[in-house]
Structures are given as structure tokens and as C-alpha cells.
Structure 1
Amino acid sequence: MQHSNHTAGIAPRAPRRVLRKQHLAMACCLALALPMAAQAQQAAQASSSDQTVETLDTVKVTGIRAAIATAVETKSESTSIVEAISAEDIGKLPDISIADSISRLPGLATQRIDGRSQVINIRGMSEQFAGTLLNGREQVSTGDSRGVEFDQYPAELINAVTVYKTPDAALIGQGLSGTVDLQTIRPLSLSERRIVFSGQYEANSFGKLSQDGNDKGYRASASYVDQFANDTVGIALGVARINSPFQEKHYKAWWWADMDAVDWGDPAQPGRPANAIALQGSEGWIKSRELTRDGVMGVFEFKPNDSFHSILDVYYSKFDQDEVMHGAMWSNDPWAPGGGVSYSNATTTDYQGYPVVTSGTLNGVRPVIRNDSNVREDKLFSAGWNNTFEFGEIYTLKTDLSYSRAEREQSALELYAGRLGGQSIDFSIRPVSGFNHYGLPDMADPNAVYLWDPQNWGHDGRLEDSFQKDVIKAGRVELNRTVESDFLRSFDVGFNYNRRTKEKVATVFFADLPDGRTPTLVDASLLYSPTSLGFVGMGDILSFNPRDLVNRYYDVYVSESNDDLRKDFIVEETVRTFYAKANLDMDVTDTVRLRGNAGFQYIRTDQQSTGFNANNSTVVGAQTLGASYGDILPSLNLVLDFGDGWMVRFGAAKTLVRPPINYLSADSSASVSTIAPFVWSGSGGNPTLEPYRANSYDLSFERYFGEGNYVSLAAFHKSLETYIYRKNFPNWDFSAYDPDGQTPISDFGNYSTWANGSGGYMRGLELSGAITGDTFHESLDGFGALLNVSYTESSIDPDGPENGASTDTIPGLSKIVANATVYYEKHGFSARLSQRYRDAYRGEYSSLFGQRQIRFTKSERTMDMQVGYEFPDTSALSGLSVLLQVNNLTNEPFRTEVSESTGTGLLFPEEYTEYGRQYMLGFRYKL
């Protein structure tokens, strides 16, 4: 069922008031605290003008301003507290990606992954807490959990986005932090045929970083919308293709520690300054990614009369990523391979009262040269059929059937090489974010760099192939009945059935050189040109295609640890939602109108999972476990409309979001220690987990004036009754597990798994507004701005109450998020400059071998620019527009920090990665 504003059944009332131009300008000044000169000017206009009530003239605007006006109108007319984005024209959202556009909304932020905006954090909570819909229907994900990757959806095929910050009873698939609804076009909403073509050339400012990389690409799209049979049949078709290059210069400090601060066993390293904090390992690499995505959208709309309306929409995309990596890395801690590492000429620098080793020479290091290939193919399909029947003038019946499927196939290969024996590395580093510098011996000489395992990882290469599939089948029926009442306009009752199945299979292979050979690659046909790591001073490194070499030189065999075996799982969910909602609309006084809704959902969830029981890298068996639970979720949304654009909104609801799907895996691993006292220990997923649950309250004060102008101050408070965290169970019964030849001292031991526990609060303030220049003076016509800032705080300890007090924050929480967009649009010319800022936060990322990891991510300030020109109707080039876009204009780096490992409480720089600027130059032509 589709919900653009969730006011189904409420017939719009005719406006009972008109606005005074002068009063609108005065209100704008007061609300936004404008300079005194602007206020004085508006006051002068008010005193000298006719006080007679008048109706504002209707002026048709297009482009940027029209899109903003439509989005503001959606926000104003909704009964929920929402934020909205509208396309400037068919297939023309304001940014190069949907995630970029969404992240500009108040209280929302994007998390950059691999250099591009991919997932959305709403009100300080990670993507796992948000619901994502397409035309009102819950969507599957291509990742290993629920968080949707928005780069799977072409911006060219999405017409609008609505983000619900407060739910109502008819919103299915809602999240706990909010719900994002992507909307495709409805052909009968247009009055004429529209045909649009567009194309863009794309380039990365870094150029070509390796011989097998690519720094140039393109984007192309076409849309066709038409109406037939006296506007009773509508068709919309769209195709979009991108071939996009992404480049990456990456440096990472592995970990920092004062080896003399605690008893590490025997951490002595000759030449290392005593009681000084030192970096224990480093890496530098370049990556080149070529992303190719083909998207197809189709909509068939049929409305033969006022009693029947049918819409069938289909979306399909195929996403291919070909990623290559060439890099160097090493460990220089006391346990590094080759008999240890020593220091010479080491110097220290004071950092917050502690000595830190910042320069010198490392001796006896065995750097490994890695050449990686990561190929990935994602397929996403979504279809829905919605029918509306109106009968008896008071009844409306809606039915909806939908199907959503995502598949991912991925293959990640890495091969190792290096010089024989220990090497000396000169280093000059700083305990602040940035590229550090290292002097390595020649790592590009094919006569001296061998294929082997310099870091003693136990294999000469590693390959992981994985497949996952996520399917949702859903059906819905809803009945609306209008009511003749002074306060109740209509009510809805409905039922939604949703069945979801997500499965993942991964296989890990090791690659070894037969008979311990360490061949050199003197055959030039096997080599690329050396790749430069000069940005971190490492020089050139030997580069090759690992997939060309793996069958030529290596024996490849399956080798899976317990963690690898536990990646395989199947999770099944059946969710039945019953709901009822009353739609309210009444006149409180002659000047105050109250509208909104009140209702509830009853959700019954049945879940189960099948996963492996593993013991010492051996599959002992499989197990299927599950749970069933029910929830009643009341909701209330009220809007007090005081006239002249003044509104106050209040929302209250109980919300939930089910656990991340990978948490529900029935995998487990258990073993008996091989040394006394021979105790059991294990870990695994938890298929019996219940949801995160919260009571939420929202209050918003809003002022609308003119066309596309508003200011809003909103406050929210979410009280999480439950939170999911990792918990240790010290008296777990392991009697059902195989001890694999060991004799345990007891059948009981420690087991670590996910568990439901107490939560805490999330609360914050959001200030936002949109303003056009002509509000102040006609000479500023064409100028405008969108501004918002939010502050969010939380008491939730993500490590759980049993782990004691913690300063860790909930993943995704940036206390301050701000966005600013300024634009000019007139006489066909348009220019826009946008900046996003988010405070430091703990982000959730894919880590080593596909595991999930929380990392301390530093603040980001990214800037994008667009400049365009549309030829006028009087021109021979009418319908043609040209556009230049620059994404990441200031080349904002991605930065993380890591805690020093011996208890100083200091944070040291970890990752520092630059992605360069993305340039796009293109055209758009509409008929």
C-alpha cells in the first residue's frame, strides 16, 4: 500500500483564509532572527501598504525552487512529522545519489563507505534502526543485515523521497529512528507526454592510480511518460546506467601501545625508547573501483473512473563492482615474524603528556606486498500491484501485493609477495591524522620480490566466495470508511502479511605455493607497471592481477575457521500486522484547526534460523531455533493549524525495529581449552532475540510563508525500553556439544551471544528552514537557501549494563549534524553550493574477512557544487540543459581513531583515506 502523506480518507478542505504579503515577510524575519535592517524594511512595507486582506498571486516556478516548494508542501500537508525531497523534473533529484540528497535533510546524516554515500543515519542511530520503503513497501537489503544501501537505487529513476520521523498506524515497515520512503513517478499525475534523455561524463581528480584502474566513466538515462485513452491509462518507463570510477589513497596505523606499561611477556625490542608509545604496524594502498549499475523502472497506471484505480510498478537493477588493490603492510610489534623487530635512531615527541616514537628506523621488518581483486554482483528486483476500489461513496478498499528480492555474489582474492628476510624501514610519523611517511627498499624489482608469505599468516593467498539472497513476499488489504462527524473524518482498518527469508553462504579457500616455492615474476607479461605509494613515501610496489596468477602458481583448497563456518545461515520471518486508525479533522475555534490521526498496530512475529554448530573448524551439525512474540504499537499524530502558516505538531508512538538479521543466525561455536583447567567456552548468534522497542515523543513548531519558505524547530525524545548487546553467560550448559577428544572439567562454561537488555534515551533538537531571496527584496529574486542543524544526545551504553560504565556512544550518533545549501536560479542559469557536516561518531563498517566492526570516525565536512544552464523556449536549443557537478569539492578525507592499548585513555589516528573529487559534465534534453 502506498502512503505519500498518510492522510487517506481525509477530504481536503477549501482554504478558509488568505495571507498578507507583509505579514509573511514580518514572520519570516522574526522566525529566522534576520538582521535588523531586513526587519526595518519589512516593517516599513507593512506601514505603507494597504491592510486589506489579499490573495497571493500564483507564480509558476520550475527547477530548484519548484522542487523545494513541492517538498515544503509535502511537509506542511502531512499529518506526521516528515522531511521530503522532490525531483526538479522527471529523473532529476538534486544530487548525484539518493543518499546524498537524503543526508541533507534535518537530523539525517550519511555514512561514507568506499568513498561514496551509501547508508543513512537518522537522528543519531545507525542504518539498522531505519525502515526503507519503495512506494510504501518494505525493501530487502544487499548487505548481511537490514540496512539498505541506497546506491542500489538510481537517482534518475526516483521522483521523490519522504522521511517519516513519526509513524502512524498505517505505515508498514516502519523503523525505530525513522522511515525512508522512495517514490517513483505516477504517469497520470502529469498532464502530458514527457520524454527525457540525459548523459554525463565522469572523472576522478586522482587520475589513474594503477595500470588496471580506471578514472573515467559515464552516466546515461532515459525516461518516457505518457497518457492514453482520455487520461485513463498511464505508462512510465525509465532506464539508467552508470559506469563510475572511484579512486582511493589509503593509510592505516594498526595499533599503538607502550610496551613497557604492562607485562606483555617479553616485549623487549632493542633501540625502542623505554616507556614510550609506539605504532605497532602500518599499511598503505591504492584502490580503484569501477562501478557499473543498470537500472530499469516501469509503471502502469489505470484509472477508468473515480471508483477504480490500479497501479503496477516494477524496478530492477544490476550492480557490478570491480575493485583492485595494490598495497604494502607490516607488523613491527615484538611478536612480528622473523625473530623480532629492532629500532635505531628512534626519537620521541610529547603528545598530551606522553612520549610517542615519531621517527627513526625499523630493522628486521618483513613487509608484505598485497595484490587484491574484489568482484561483486548485486541484483535487486521489486514489484508491486496496488488497487483502490471506491464504492457506496463512503467506502474505499485498497489491496496491495508486492515482491522484493536481492541477491549478492562476491569473490575476494588476495595474494602476497615480498623480499626475502628482514628489511629496514625509515619512518617519520605524527600522532595526528594524515599520511605518514616510510622509506622502504625497492618493492617493485621482480628479481628481488618473491611470491610468498612474509608475515607468516599461514598461507600464500586467500579467497572468499559468498552468496546471499534476501526475499520479501507481502500482501495487504485496507478498508477506509468516511464518517460524518465534527471531529472524525474517516477511519482505516487493515492487515499486512510479510514473509522474509534471508540466506547467506560463504566459502573460504587458502592458496599455497607447491613445495614451498617462492617464485619471482620475471615474466613481464604477468606484471603491470609498478604502482606508486609515494603519497606515504613507500615508493613503487610490484603489481599484478592475482586472478591471472592463482591458477598458474598456486594450490587452492578449502580452509575454514569456526568464524568462517558460522557465516552460513538462513533466517526466516513471518510478520502479521493488524492495524486501525482514526483520521481526525475538526475546527477547534474559528481560527484554529486540528487534524491528525490516532491508531494502533498489533504485530505478531514468528522467526527462526538455521545455522552451523562448529568445533575446531569442523561442522558438528546444524541447528534450527526460533521465537514468537507480539507487540501492540499505539500512535498519535496531531497538527494544530493556527492559520497564516503557523502550525504545531505533536507525535507520540511506541515503535520497534527487529534485530539485525545476522544477529539472529543460529550459528554457534564451542570447544574445550587444550590446557588446564580444560573448560568450555563458545559464542554464537541468537535466533530468540526480540526487537529494539522504544516510546517516542515529538514536538514541532513550524511557520510557512510564501512559496517554498518555512522555518521549523522540533524536539524529540525516544526512550528505548530494550537494547541488544553482546552478553556473556558464565554458566552455559555445553553438554549437547562434542568436546572433540578433550575431557572438560565440567559441562558448564562461558558462552557469548547477543541478548536483549535495558536501553536508555535518545533526544535532540532540530532547527531547519528554507528561504527565498525575494522574501527580503525583489532584487534578490532567484537566490535562496536551505539550512538545518540538529543536536542529539543519548544515555545508551552499547556495550551493555554488565560491562560497567562506558564512554562509548551508540553507533551512528553524531551530536551535531548540519547542512547548508545556497542557490541561484534565474533566466535559465542555476548554481548550487551544498555543504554537509557531521560530528565525530562511532560507525559500523565491514572489517577483516567480512566481519562487522565499530570504529571511531572523526568529523566530516563535505562540499558539493552544481552549475547549469537551461536554454529558453525561444531558443533553437529549447529543451536542452547542460550541467557541471563536482562532488567532494574539497577532497574531504575519511578519518578514524583507535584507543591506545595500554590504558592511557588517548585516541590515536588510525585510518586516513582520500577519495579525490568526482567531476561530472553532462546534458539533459526533454521533449
Structure 2
Amino acid sequence: MSFKRNLLVLAMASAGIGMVCEAHASSPAQATVPSTADNAPASPQGGQDGTSANAPDQATGKQAADDGKSRSKNNKDKLIQTLATINVTGFSRSLESSIDYQRYSDKIENVVTSADIGGLPDQSIADALTRLPGVSAQRIGGEASQINIRGLTGNFIQTTLNGRVQPSTSGSNYIQFDDYPSELINRVAVYKSSQANIIEGGVGGTIAMETANPLDNPKSQSFNVDARGSYDSRANQVYGANPRAYRFSAAYQGKFLNDTLGIGLGFADLSQPHVAEQYVNESYSDTPQVINGKPVYLNSGVQINQDGGSERRRGYLGTVVWQPNDHFKLTGTTFFSKFHDGSFQRGMRAQLFTNGGAVITNPVVSSSGALIGGTASSIPGGYFGIPGLQAFSVATTDNDQSNDANVFSGGLNAEWNDGPWTVTADFSASHAHSQTVGSDVTADPYNGLGSGFPLIADQSVNFALHGLNVGDFSVANPGMYTDLGRMALSSYSVYPTIYHDRMKAFRSTVKYEFADNPVFSAIEGGIYLNNHDYSADRKVWLYGSAWGQYWLSTPNQPPLALNSSNAVKTCWKGSEFGNFPCFLALNGSAILAAHGVTPDPQKDWSQNWTETQSGGVNVKVRDAFLQGDIDTTVFDRELTGNVGLRVVHTSQYSPGLQQVGNGAGEPIADGRGVISTDYIHVNPGQTYTDYLPSLNLNLHLDDNNQMRFAAAKVMARPPINLLKSGVASYIYNGTYNLSSGTNPLLDPMYATQYDLTFEHYFPDSSGVFAADVFYKHIGSFVQTITDQNYDFAAHGYTVPTNPKTGKPYLNGEFQTAYNNTKGGYVRGIELQFMKTHFLPGVWSGLGVALNYAYTRSGTKVESDLGGFPQKQNLPGLSKNVASAALFFDRGKFSTRLAANYRSPFVSAAQVSFTYQTVYFAAEKVFDYQAAYHFNDHVSALFQVLNLTDQPTRTYFGNATQTSTIQYFGRTIYAGIGLKF
């Protein structure tokens, strides 16, 4: 080879790195991602992405259409040869297929294939992803849901299905992966490095899910059915939770018209209990209170809760592929998932210890000055000396947290190729909807209930925190809380939240493959257009008073009597919670109905936050990219990869309401028809353009070893819920002040990232050892701040006139979200080892998969939820993340024991209706799975998930200040699978 070519390639690499370091950034977008099968093999069922991928047939090694992405001819040949050697079943087959995807990809990625997901099914896609290096999950309701990659939360991760950016039911950017049934997903990849033809948005990484292409099915017709029953070990300890449930799925694939028309249909149905037992310590005041002559940070209260109810998810999938010849393919796909979480939270809540609301005696104080035990009691004579008025109480609660969510994603993809040319076009539409009931119901013991003037009884609670274990909770008169003659409903509050997330997109690419270019195998360019519309609606309905002061604030809404049909005595069971006092399991809606009261939540000017927190966000993204695919040699070694540039133009605006006051606004009616003239419609926002260069190089040292280098400028859009414009105002000392916590002028979060990897592949795809050193420099993070002397007019906000001066009010404070948190690095190393067939004879089916990631960050976030000021780590980052699986496949039998570990991390957790950023303690979760195939048509499956009933433990600042201890139970599955 010529020395000039070496110089050319090295110069090009240097230029690409320099471009990444110096490029000026500016905005995030939704992501259409290339196929997970970039330069990789197909799973046993085949695969297809948004750019219409036909992967090589595993049974015959026949090469199908190229997938719309570059792949060197040498790598294609190696791929076919490798697949021809695969003749194993079970988890070993999926692992070896995943290895080949990783090996022949033109970027750094890790893959989970359908044999892995479907052969030994996971609870969710999130569970499957946690077996990949550097990937961890946060358990919500006991089930893995939100994914973290390389220490970054879901808002830094882009997610696609068949190459199309997915909308979210979370109300923010991150995807709740329990919306996606694992039975309907054929393959999932995590892209660790970026390239120009990947839609922007993945600072942490991109998760690309794919459904199957029925034309890749080796059979002309197939029909699969899976049915399993389940049992939750903790559900019988929670009132209203059924421990028994089921899971069912069915899939059909057929080929017609001489294998030119493929049809795929899928259905998945999941029913399971929503189960958790909780001990909750609420956050601390940042202003200490003097107790016994010493300053003490007080917690807001203590709770004991049973989370019960049921969950139902139904997923539907449809695929039609028409490929009349080798030059044209048309693919239509639709995915729909409907998830109903009918969950409630019932128990007891000792509330409002702070601000003089309770008398604190016998305090136990931590070394940091925080209250971690003692007795909280009612104020003698009443709060502020008013009899019957108490801020403190030990309320019996019934919180309805039910949520209905659905996701639709569909589109039409066309691909044409002729000679060196390949052209693709993809039209898509998607929609996510989520609606949460959000009711908070309290009942209290009263004196004089049934008389004309009942007063809340004096009460007290003794509590003691035990760090990462369940604490103590006892009351002075436990029988009072189950006495229907003394207990009554004090308050019923409903705070519904409704989210809509809609996208319409178009993507087109043109690729030209060179026949004999010494450096480039192909050049590719394309465009991407996405219109993204988001809306949030808040409503409210209130009855009574939570603290027995109905006669003061709501005289026409007295406490409502209970009866045995709507309040059932419930006692705790089990070793962790069995010593807690019994309580009444309330049915709040039935209590209202018994008294002829009907909730009617609406937007309401008397609760003006329902208007200002409602609103929309409109984001338009216009992208273009150019990418050169590299296939050359350097110093007699094959070098592949790509270099490119993506240009992203974004327009983001938010229609909403701004409070101006003094009747200076427009006449606007709320949901009850009340007119206010204190608000105006606004639509602030901005437009910007970003330049995102990328470089991926893969040096093939020999047939089994390769080194990769990747560099890119990447971006993630700010959480879309923080882009809303609605703001409330207040006047203070002649200044105009706004408060929102959101900001439509937020910039994206940018990062420059580098990867250097070494990969060793064992013969016959039997294993891999890989080490990846990575570094990300993130420019800034979003944080809620108070900006003093904010120039409202300069940023598009109307400042009303001060009637005293005849001039606009002076600038005051703006409580808002802002990209002001100092950025920093995220760096680490990921190690991966997988090996099958390392023992002889009968033990040849034994295999092992090990992953470990060490991640550090210099970024700190300030928090005072523990009372004293402290610096928290970057949310989502665990310093150590590891997974291990020991599996055995032989003949008809497959089994696997898997473990996932993550060290402590910081994240937002829901405590009642409030999200608080807390520390999560280290977790170890074990799962066991086994399958037996009686013949080609019938198999049996047995699973135990969360084998050791691992709880989720969170705390404030240090481990002595408990936040929440939650136990979810272990889930046992048993069932059969049928294949025809």
C-alpha cells in the first residue's frame, strides 16, 4: 500500500478529532437511528429497522439487502462465514449472535437479540438492557423502567423503535421501558458512540429497538404462543393486591406471493399486581429549629404505606413487507401499547413536624444535626391557640396513583437500490398519552363526631429511623385509628395530570457505494424533519381540610363519616412491617358517593397553578447530514469506520399563560367558566443551529483482535416539560417577579465524547473480551434557580404598568430553569467478557457473561433535602455497575442465573406526590430462569425474578437519614410455549 494513503487516512482522522473539539454546538433533536444491525448479523427471526434492513439469513448464510448502511465486503464475507458456524440453542445462541453484531458494527455498540429476549423472556426490555456493560436501571414499583447509560439518566438518552424516535409517557424526555412488551421486540442495541447518520439526542447513548421482518423468517408460516401464570410473594401482605396474575403473547409471521410479501402480527398481554410496602421519612427543613437548646433539622413527617392494585398492559404489533424484486422494498409497521396502572397507596402519615406544627420530645439527633427519632405530638390547645386546629396529625391515607398510558408508533419505509445507489424514504407518526388521577385522601380521629362541631383529636407518634432498614412507627392510642365511630374523612384532593406527546417525521437518505476507492467504501447523505408537539394539562378538585380546620376554611365541607363498606380494618403482616399499627383501608371515592359528593376536577383560577402549569411546547427539527464510510488499509491493517457531519436546526416555542395582574390581561375563562383578566397568552422561544461532527475508526489488528477510536460532538435536548412557558407573578416593593421553574429559552445539553476500545473475539463466535475507555465533557446541566434583577422585556415577557408611576414595574426575581449548572466530565472504563464452549463433553453448554463499568464524574449538584447543605453526585451515576450470568444450554434444556449490581447513586424518587432527589443505596438483584423444549413445538418455562426480594433503599445525605425503604416481593413465573 502507498505511504500517501496512510498519510491521507491519518490526516483525515486528525481533522475529524479537531472538528469535534472546535465545532460550535447548539441544539438537540429526536432521533431516527440506523439499524442495530449496522454491519452485523441478523437474529434468528431476522430484523428490520426504520431504514429497512434485511440482515443475512442465519440458516443459509444468504446475503440480503445491505440495510442502508456501509459495510465492507470483507466484513460481509467474514460475517457469513461466522454465522455458518453457529449451531447452538438457548441463551448461548443469542449471546453468540450478539457478539457478531458488536464485532462487525461500524460504531461502538452492545446488542441484545431476540433469542435472548424471547427465548428466556425478561420482565421488560429494561431488564434485558441491564445485562449490557455500562447500562443500569432504576426500579420503579419493583420493575426496571428508567435506563441509565454511563452514569447519565434517561433525559440524556435517545430511544428509537424501527429507527423512529419514540414519544414518552413520562411527561419528560425519558422513556418508560415498561411500556414496551419484550415479546414484541426482536432486537435492542445500545449505541455508545455516535455517527452522522444517527439522529441526535443521545449524550449518554442511543437505545435502538427493532421489530422482526417476516421475510427473514426461515419458515413460510409460523405461529408462536406463550402463556405463563405468575405469583408475587408479597402481594398477600398488601390489602387489595392479588398475588396471582398472568402473561400471554402470540405472534404470527407469514410469507406469500413467492416470498415477496411478508406479514407479521403480534399481541402481548400482561396482568400483574402492583405491590410495595414502604417506610417513608420525608425531607428535612433547611432551617434548623431549636430543641432542648440545640439547633435541629426537622423532617416533615413519617409514613407507612401499602402500595396495591393491579397493572394491565396490552401490546399490538403489525408489519407488512413487500419486496417484489432485489431493487425495491416497502415496509409498513405499527406498534401500539396500552398500560393501565390501577395503583393506590394506603397507610398512615404523621405529617407536618416542621414550622412549629408539632411538639417534638425525646429527640434523637444524628451527628449532622438531623432528627432521626423521637415523639411528635399535637400542640396542646391547638395550633396558634385555636382549639381543634392542628397542623400535625397522624392521618390515615388513600392516595390514588392510577395512571393510564398508551404509545403508538407507526410508519412507512421505502428502499430502492440499483448498482451503487441506495435511496430510502421513511414517513412516521407517533403519539404518547398519559393521564394520572393523583388523589390524596386523608381521614382523622375526631372528638364529637356526629355532633355539630367535631374537632380533630390530640395525637402523637413515636418513630425511630434505622438507616437502610425499616424504622419504627407507633401511636399512643392505636385502637382509635380503626374505630369507625371516631374516624372520618377529612379531605379529598384530586390533582389530575394529562400529557400528550406527538411527533410527525420524515427521513430520507441517499448512498453511493464506490467500487475501488482507496479510502472510502461509500458516501451517504440525507435529511430529517420532525415536528414535535407536547402538552401538559393540570386540574384540581378539593374537599375539606387535611388538618381538621374545615370550620375555618371550608365550613360547608365537614368530615364525612365512614362505614364498613368503604373503610376496612387492615393489619400489617411479615417480619419487616408486622409490628406497625392497624389502619383503615379507605375507599375514598366510595366515601364521597355515600355522601352524594361527586369530584369535578377542572382548571381553576382559585388554584392558578393549574392554568400556569398547563401549556404546550412546539419543537421543529430540520437536520441534514453527510457521511463518508471508510474501508482502507493502514500499515497493512484493515481500517473501517466513518467520518461525517450532522447539521441540526431547531425551532422551539411554548404557548402558555403569563400572569400580569391588576386586570391588565385578556379575558380568559377557566374550566368552571370563571373569567380572569390577570393573564395574557404568550409564546416565547428561540431558534438555533448546531454542527455535530463525528468520527469512528476500527483498526483490524488480525482476524480476532481490533481497536476502535470514536469521537463526536453530541447533544441532548432539555427535558421538554421544562420548556413550558406558563408563569405566575407577584409584585414586591415596586418590582415585577415571575415564578415557574420552567424556561422555553433553555439550550440543549452538549458534550464532547471520546472512546478507545480493544476487542478480542474468540473463535467461532464463542466469546469476547472487550475494554472500552471513555471520556465525556458535558458543557452544562439544567437546574432550577432564582435569577435576580432579570430583564423580562429583553426576553419577551410583558411587564405590566405600575399604576403609581405610570411606567412598567422594575425588574425583580425570576424563579426559572436555566442551563447554569457547571458542566464537567464523565469518564470511566467498561469491561466485557462472554464465553461459551470452554469446557469439554457434557459441560460444553456451560457459559458465562460478565460486565463491569467504573464511572466517575466531577459534577456536583447542591441539595438541602437532608437539612444541611450538601453536594450530591451527578444524578443517575453509580461508580460501579456490574452484571453476571451463568448459563447452561444442552439439547432441550436451558437455564440461567443472572445478577445485577449497582453501587449507590442519586436520583429523583417519588415520596407520596412529591419527587425528591435522594441517594439510592447499592442494589443486588438476582433472577433465575429455566426452559425445557419437549419437542419442536412445545416448551416449558420457569422463572423467579428478584430472587432475594431485594428492597429499594434511599436516604438523605447520610445513611442514618432514611428516605424510603420499599419491598416489592419476588415474582415466580411458570408456563408453556407453543410453536407451529
Q: TM-score range by the shorter chain?
A: 0.7 to 0.9
| Alpha-carbon distance, 1:170 to partner | 0.7
Query: 1:797-826: CA deviations, max 9, x gaps?
Result: 4459xxx99732221111111111111111
Q: Does 1:480 align with 2:480?
A: no
TM-score (ref. length: structure 2): 0.82
1:182 deviates by 0.4
Q: How many residues align?
A: 855
Q: Which residue of 2 aligns with 1:186?
A: 213
Q: Which residue of 1 aligns with 2:484?
A: 447
Equivalent in 13, 25, 37 of residue 73 of structure 2: 13
Residues of 2 paired with 1:624 and 1:536: CA distance? Answer: 54
The equivalent residue for 2:612 is 566
Q: Deviations over 1:68-100 (max 9, x none)?
A: 111111000101000100011784464121001
**Does the CA-based 8 Å contact 1:69-1:709 persist in structure 2?**
yes
Q: CA deviation at 1:530?
A: 2.8
C-alpha distance in 2, partners of 1:18/1:497?
Answer: 36
2:895 paired with 1:868: no
Structure 1 Cα separation of the partners of residues 473 and 70 of structure 2:
68
- SS state at 1:524 partner: coil
2:313 aligned to which of 271, 281, 293: 293
Q: Which residue of 2 aligns with 1:239?
A: 267
After alignment, is 625-634 or 280-289 more displaced? Answer: 280-289
1:215 and 2:243 aligned: yes
Q: Distance in 2 between matches of 1:740 and 1:542?
A: 54
Match of 2:654 in 1: 609
> What are the superposed Cα offsets for residues 838-887 of structure 1, whole Å, 9 maximum, x if unpaired?
111111245664x653222222111111122111x4xxxx4211111111
Counterpart for residue 832 of structure 1: 896
User: Could you say if the C-alpha distance between residues 511 and 156 of structure 1 is closer, same or farther in structure 2, counting changes exceeding 3 Å?
Assistant: same
Tell me which of 902, 913, 916 is aligned to 2:969. 916
Deviation at 1:733, TM superposition (A): 4.3
1:150 aligns with 177
**Does the Cα contact within 8 Å between 1:323 and 1:374 map onto a contact in 2?**
yes
Greater mean alpha carbon deviation, residues 839-848 or residues 640-649:
839-848
* Matches for 1:610-625 after TM superposition, within 5 Å: 610-614=655-659, 620-625=679-684
Higher mean C-alpha deviation, range 818-827 or range 90-99: 90-99
Q: Distance in 2 between matches of 1:610 and 1:836?
A: 44
Cα drift, residue 378 of structure 1 = 1.1
Q: 8 Å contact 2:925–2:948 — kept in the other structure?
A: yes
Partner of 1:883: 941
Corresponding residue for residue 400 of structure 1: 426
Query: CA separation in 1, counterparts of 2:615 and 2:783?
Result: 20
Deviation at residue 700 of structure 1 after TM alignment: 0.7
Equivalent residue for 1:580, pick from 619, 626, 636 = 626
- Alignment of 1:818 with 2:882, yes or no, is yes
1:499 equivalenced with 2:531 (yes/no)? yes
Shift of 1:13: 2.7
Report the AA paired with residue 964 of structure 2. Answer: E
Question: Is the partner of 2:586 in helix, strand or coil?
Answer: coil
How far apart are 1:664 and its partner, in Å? 0.7
Amino acid at match of 2:234: F
Q: Is the 8 A contact 2:36 2:187 kept in 1?
A: no
8 Å Cα contact 1:530-1:541 kept in structure 2: yes
The CA deviation at 1:113 is: 1.2
* Long gaps (5+) in structure 1: 20-53, 454-459, 900-904
Per the alignment, residue 787 of structure 2 pairs with 729
- The secondary structure found in structure 2 opposite 1:525 is coil
Gap change, CA 1:443 and 1:81, over 3 Å in 2: farther
Equivalent residue letter for 2:508: V
Deviation at 1:414, TM superposition (A): 2.2
1:341 aligns with 2:376: no
Q: Could you report, residue by residue, the CA deviation over 1:879-898 in whole angstroms, capped at 9, with x for unpaired residues?
A: 21111111111111111111
In structure 1, the partner of 2:691 is 632
1:751 aligned to which of 814, 817, 832? 814
Q: Is the 8 A contact 1:667 1:684 kept in 2?
A: no
Match of 2:96 in 1: 69
Task: Decide whether aligned partners of structure 1 residues 18 and 913 sit closer, same or farther in structure 2, where only a CA change above 3 A counts.
Answer: closer
- Determine which structure has greater relative contact order: mean sequence separation of CA pairs < 8 Å that are 6+ residues apart, divided by chain length: 2
Find the counterpart in structure 2 of residue 43 from structure 1.
none
Q: Which is worse superposed, 205-214 or 148-157?
A: 205-214
Q: 1:13 to 1:690 in 2, by over 3 A?
A: same
SS class of match (2:101)? helix
Match in the other structure for 1:326:
346
Checking the alignment, whether the CA contact within 8 Å between 2:90 and 2:119 is kept in structure 1 is no
Measured in 2, the distance between the counterparts of 1:770 and 1:169 equals 30
Q: Tell which deviates more after alignment, 559-568 or 96-105.
A: 559-568
User: Could you tell me whether the CA contact under 8 Å between 2:120 and 2:930 is conserved in 1?
Assistant: no
Q: 1:283–1:483: structure 2 CA closer, same or farther, 3 Å change rule? A: same
Q: What pairs with 1:107-186 in structure 2 (closer than 5 Å)? A: 107-186=134-213
Query: Identity, % of aligned pairs?
Result: 27
* Conserved? CA contact 2:617–2:720, under 8 Å: yes
Contact kept, 8 Å, 1:793 with 1:815, in 2: the verdict is: yes
Kept in 1, the 8 Å contact 2:647–2:692? The answer is yes
Contact 2:320 2:332 in 1 (8 A): yes
Tell me if structure 1 keeps the 8 A contact 2:312–2:340: yes
Quickly say closer, same or farther: Cα 1:478–1:518, change in 2 above 3 A: same
Aligned positions of 1:295-444 closer than 5 A: 295-331=315-351, 333=353, 335=355, 337=357, 340-343=358-361, 346=362, 348=364, 352=367, 358=373, 362=377, 366-391=393-418, 393-420=419-446, 421-425=456-460, 427=462, 429-440=464-475, 441-444=478-481
Q: Which amino acid aligns with 2:701?
A: F
Of 519-528 and 291-300, deviating more is 519-528
Quickly say closer, same or farther: Cα 1:285–1:614, change in 2 above 3 A: farther
Hey, what does 2:706 align to over in structure 1? 647
Q: What's the CA shift for 1:594?
A: 0.7
> CA 1:742–1:295 in structure 2 vs 1: closer, same or farther (change >3 Å)?
farther
**C-alpha contact (below 8 Å) 1:521/1:527 kept by paired residues:** no
Change in Cα spacing, 1:89 to 1:752, as seen in structure 2 (3 Å) is closer
- How far did 1:760 drift? 1.5
Contact 1:92–1:156, Cα closer than 8 Å, also in 2: no
Supply the distance in 2 between the matched residues of 1:644 and 1:61 (Cα, whole angstroms).
Answer: 22
- Aligned mates of 1:16, 1:325 — CA distance in 2: 55
Output the amino acid matched with 2:471.
N
**Inter-CA distance 806–693: structure 2 relative to 1 (3 Å threshold):** farther
C-alpha displacement at 1:677, in angstroms?
8.6
Match of 1:510 in 2: 542
Residue 550 of structure 1 and its aligned partner are, at CA, apart by 2.4
Distance 2:932 2:561 in 1: 53
Give runs of aligned pairs for residues 749-788 of structure 1, distance below 5 A: 749-757=812-820, 758-772=822-836, 774-778=837-841, 780-788=843-851
Alignment match, 1:24? none
Q: Give the counterpart letter for 1:498 in structure 2.
A: N
Query: Shift in Å at residue 612 of structure 1?
Result: 2.1
The 8 Å contact of residues 918 and 963 in structure 2, kept in 1 or not, is answered as no
Give the Å deviation of 1:63. 1.4
SS in 1 for 2:789: strand
Is the CA contact (8 Å cut-off) linking 2:238 and 2:277 kept in structure 1? no
Determine if contact 2:566/2:588 at 8 Å carries over to the other structure.
no
CA RMSD of aligned residues (A): 3.1
Question: Quick one: distance in 2 between partners of 1:113 and 1:583?
Answer: 41
Query: Aligned to 1:843, which of 907, 910, 913?
Result: 907
Name the SS for the 1:188 alignment partner.
helix
| TM-aligned CA deviation for residue 153 of structure 1 | 0.6
The 8 Å contact of residues 524 and 627 in structure 2, kept in 1 or not, is answered as yes
Unaligned runs of 5+ in 2: 1-31, 40-67, 380-391, 447-455, 545-549, 662-669, 671-675
1:276 CA displacement = 6.7
Distance 1:145 1:153 in 2: 17
Q: With structure 1 as the length reference, what TM-score do the two structures score? A: 0.86
> Quick one: structure 1 residues 60 and 742, their matched pair in 2 at CA, closer, same or farther if it must change by over 3 Å?
farther
